[in-house]
Amino acid sequence: MIEVEDVVYDYPTKRALRGVRFKAERGQVLALVGPNGAGKTTLLRCLAALDRPFSGAVRIDGIDTQDDPRRVHEKVGYLPDFYGLYDELTVEQNLLYAANARRVTGAKAREAMKRTVERIGLADRVKSRASELSRGLRQRLAIGQTIVHEPAALLLDEPAAGLDPEARRSLSALITSLAKGGMAIIVSSHILAELEDYSTAMLVMRDGALIGDGPVSAGGAVRVRITLARTDQRFPASIAAQAGVKVENADASGGLITLDGGAEGNATLLRALVLDNFHVATFAEERVSLEAAYMAAQSSGVMASGVQAGGRA
């Protein structure tokens, strides 16, 4: 869906992106994190085909942003960190214009507007001018403008800035539902705890480059901690022999492993252990908080393999 290949972007006195490469599929929510000046906003602008990289390629739904930026614009929704609204227009007019400007016209535009105000919780404010809305509601309207045309890829730069906790929760629910609807979503934010609610993987940037090999997908390896009710000396050798298992540490009382195959893989391994007469007391996925993973990546320079980027598996 979103393909980024060795993208380099230069400012007159600084290289802002250094060979960035990753992919994001439909339904994925990538958390884009990194310190100020890491290149997150520049990357998002390149993905939105607003800025042209010096070299490399960005493809959205198979369309190269440099070959046909106008078609890319139709497929992308982008909310910049500093956005503007037409203050003198009503919520309805803002959304209708956004739909019309993305080739959604007539009755379809009105349907899109109604669907969007329901999604963003502004159904009771459609006749209010944008200037009459609170900061949180303005933020919702801005997000509404970016999704009213049902883009294939959604790029959000600090979407939760200025939102109260309740609004953040509804934003999380909205992003989750949009991802389930098939959008590929990239969210840049400094609020890691909030990203944990909905992101399926994480991209960590530093000095214009991605740390590690790109995002860790939700369907990939997970860490599982196993503890035994009775110690068993056979356990280290037995667990190491299981298919799809990578042992991080193991002894007679249990161990920490990385396991491929998702829920089905978990069930298969657990059944094998029980049939092998191991007295399994706990068999639990171990979640690493996004913040912990981020800090580890920042300090080591390389993202730990197998780190699940958030709470959703």
Is 93 a binder of another protein (CB under 8 A)? Answer: yes
Look at residue 175 and give its three-state secondary structure.
helix
In this complex, which beta carbon is closest to another protein, that of residue 84 or of residue 165? 84
Stretch that binds another protein, among 69-77, 160-168, 217-225, 269-277 (CB under 8 A): 69-77
Instruction: Tell me how many degrees the CA angle 305-309-310 measures, rounded to the nearest 5.
Output: 145
Nearest residue (CB) to another protein, 57 versus 280: 57
Q: Is 15 in the site for another protein (CB under 8 A)?
A: yes
Q: Which is nearer to another protein, 87 or 248 (CB)?
A: 87
CB–CB of 82/45 below 8 Å?
A: no
Q: Are 221 and 196 in contact (CB under 8 A)?
A: no
100 binds another protein (CB under 8 A): yes
Which CB, 130 or 303, lies closer to another protein?
130
Nearer residue to another protein within complex by CB, 58 or 245: 58
78 neighbors 102 (Cβ within 8 angstroms) = no
The residue range among 27-35, 71-79, 264-272, 287-295 that interacts with another protein, by the rule CB under 8 A, is 71-79
Three-class secondary structure of residue 195 per DSSP: helix
Of 77-85, 165-173, 214-222, 254-262, the segment contacting another protein by CB under 8 A is 77-85
280-285, strands of its sheet edge to edge: 245-251, 254-259, 222-228, 280-285
- Contact region for another protein (CB under 8 A) — 21-29, 50-58, 133-141, 270-278? 50-58
* β-pair partners for 185: 29, 154
Report the residue from 19, 97, 219, 288 that binds another protein according to the rule CB under 8 A.
Answer: 97
Residue among 268, 271, 257, 272 nearest 305 (CA):
257
Stretch that binds another protein, among 88-96, 189-197, 230-238, 257-265 (CB under 8 A): 88-96
Among 1, 29, 33, 73, binds another protein (CB under 8 A): 73
As a whole number of angstroms, the distance between CA 251 and CA 144 comes to 53
Q: Measure the CA–CA gap between 149 and 294, rounded to whole angstroms.
A: 33
Minimal distance, residue 111 CB to another protein, in Å: 16
Choosing from 19, 27, 56, 80, the residue that interacts with another protein (CB under 8 A) is 80
Q: Which of 5, 19, 23, 83 binds another protein (CB under 8 A)?
A: 83
Q: Does 135 bind another protein (CB under 8 A)?
A: no
Is residue 75 classed as helix, strand or coil in its secondary structure?
A: helix
Q: Is 102 in the site for another protein (CB under 8 A)?
A: yes
* DSSP state letter for 304: P
22 contacts 57 by C-beta, under 8 angstroms: no
Separation of alpha carbons 40 and 37, rounded Å:
8
Q: How many chain residues touch another protein (CB under 8 A)?
A: 37
Exposure of 83 by Cβ count < 10 A (0-12 exposed, 13-18 middle, 19+ buried)?
middle
What residues line the site for another protein (CB under 8 A)? Answer: 10-15, 48-50, 52, 54-55, 66-67, 69-70, 73-74, 76, 78, 80, 82-89, 93, 97-98, 100-103, 145
